[in-house]
A = this chain, B = another copy of it.
């Protein structure tokens, strides 16, 4: 293990702190841990495996840190509503995750991928049902959304420009019976993984990516259609992001469940519906007696382009996040509301009201993070939970 220390020139905002901690794993494959002290000046401590070229990595780190610090987001998030509980938060995200694991309610299948059992599984399914009911109350019809998304769908949506590094690419072996038989004969059970490098596959040009965000296939489905007055749908979908060393328990996992609500219609109706979705967020804080804040937000950035887009998002208030407290000084974004303007309407040629380009907005609930925040705020004895949360659990 080797360590590189970088002293920053001044304290950084919470937002920039998150960006550094997430993005610096991408500087070099040898980086195994990234930490940022709270001190003034803050010190970045980056650990590398012994095989890494420290001098080279340090140079790349300095370039990357400089680029991130010089991508200012001049607009501060605006708080829409906030709710605090006087009795404080029981546990941090890490403590909660450890307790859930110790109880056998969360078991690892892969880094960032888990099986849930017991009250964790009950809460997960109960919340999805509650969010689904809530969507139905807003007039949403259920849709079934796939997790395999065409690479062309995401390319068209522009998703890959800022997020190619986080995508989970899917491929298959090309049709060649004798090559596959040879490969299979060499397999040894359970040891050393597999080596597909000699087989013809679609890996160089993968046809599918695992859904990074729930709503994309809906716009493709509506392509070339006129939705009339409006189209409102709700679906549950498993989403996937590879976040390298930044994956952390239930706080940031590789596979997670999202309940999504999508509204497509005229500009005025979309704006009104978006206001309703923000209202839903505030009401949920009250209904479940959770500590959290609803504020304007921006998507994480990885490249220059996406950094500029953040300023655009924040100044036009295109994105809101509902952040739930886990621990006294930590939050997780447990839901987001996104206003797209006519972006997807133009992209996929979707009309409303007999010919106008359609506008759209969507909301996604990150169910796993709701579970994390609820256990962190109220502990593991369901009898101690507020009644509205107990009622979410299956009878």
Q: Which A positions have Cβ atoms within 8 angstroms of B?
A: 23, 25-29, 31, 60, 64, 107, 109-110, 113-118, 120-122, 124-125, 141-153, 155-156, 158, 160-162, 164-178, 180-181, 183-184, 187, 189-191, 193-197, 200-201, 203-208, 210, 217-218, 220-221, 233, 235, 238, 240, 242, 244, 254-255, 257, 302-303, 394
Residues in B with CB closer than 8 Å to A178 are: 60
Copies in the assembly, this chain: 2
Contact A145 B197 (CB under 8 A): no
Contact B221 A117 (CB under 8 A): yes
Contact A189 B155 (CB under 8 A): yes
Pick the contact of A176: B26, B109, B200 (CB < 8 A). Answer: B26
Pick the contact of A142: B121, B174, B233 (CB < 8 A). Answer: B121
Instruction: Provide the main secondary structure of the chain A interface.
Output: mixed
Give the distance to chain B from A16, nearest Cβ to Cβ, in Å. Answer: 17
Question: A26-B180, A142-B121, A147-B255 given as contacts; is B109 within 8 A of A217 (CB)?
Answer: yes
Give the distance to chain B from A54, nearest Cβ to Cβ, in Å. Answer: 16
Give the distance to chain B from A99, nearest Cβ to Cβ, in Å. Answer: 17
Contact A117 B25 (CB under 8 A): no
Contact B194 A205 (CB under 8 A): yes
Residues in B with CB closer than 8 Å to A242 are: 172
Complex CA distance for A178 and B28, rounded to whole angstroms: 9
Residues in B with CB closer than 8 Å to A200 are: 29
